[in-house]
Amino acid sequence: MIVCFDIGGTTIKGAIAYSPEDIRPVPRQPTPGDDFEAFVDVLRSVISEAEDAPLCVSLSICGVIDPDTRRAIVANIPCIHGRLLQQDLETALGLPVLIANDADCFVIAEAGLGAGRGHRVVFGIILGTGVGGGLVIDGKLINSDGGFAGEWGHGPIAATEVGDPPVSIPRFQCGCGQKGCIDATCSARGLEKLHAHLTSESSTSEMIVDAWGKGEANASRTIGVYVELLAGPLALVINMTGATILPVGGGLSNVSALIAAIDKAVRQRILRKFQRPIIVPAQCRIEPGLIGAALLGLAAMS
Residue 183's domain is classified under what CATH number? 3.30.420.40
Residues of the chain with confidence (pLDDT) below 50:
none
Query: Is there a domain that residue 143 lies in?
Result: yes
* Sign of the torsion formed by the C-alpha atoms of 136, 110, 61 and 93: negative
- 164 and 42 assigned to the same domain: no
- 27 and 45 assigned to the same domain: yes
Query: Is there a domain that residue 78 lies in?
Result: yes
- Residue from 32, 31, 26, 76 nearest 46 by CA: 26
List C-alpha distances in Å: 12 to 20, 77, 148: 20, 11, 23
- Model pLDDT, residue 255: 94
Whether the CB-CB separation of 153 and 183 falls below 8 Å is answered with yes
- Model pLDDT, residue 143: 86
- Model pLDDT, residue 286: 86
Backbone torsion region of residue 89, taken as left when φ is above 0, otherwise alpha when ψ lies between -120 and 50, otherwise beta: alpha
Query: For residues 101 and 229, what is the distance between their CA atoms, to the nearest angstrom?
Result: 25
Query: Is there a domain that residue 111 lies in?
Result: no
- Note down the domain range covering 26: 2-105+286-301
How many separate domains does the chain show?
Answer: 2
Residues 240-280: tens digit of each pLDDT: 999 999 999 999 999 999 999 999 999 999 999 999 999 99
Does the predicted TM-score (pTM) go above 0.85?
Answer: yes
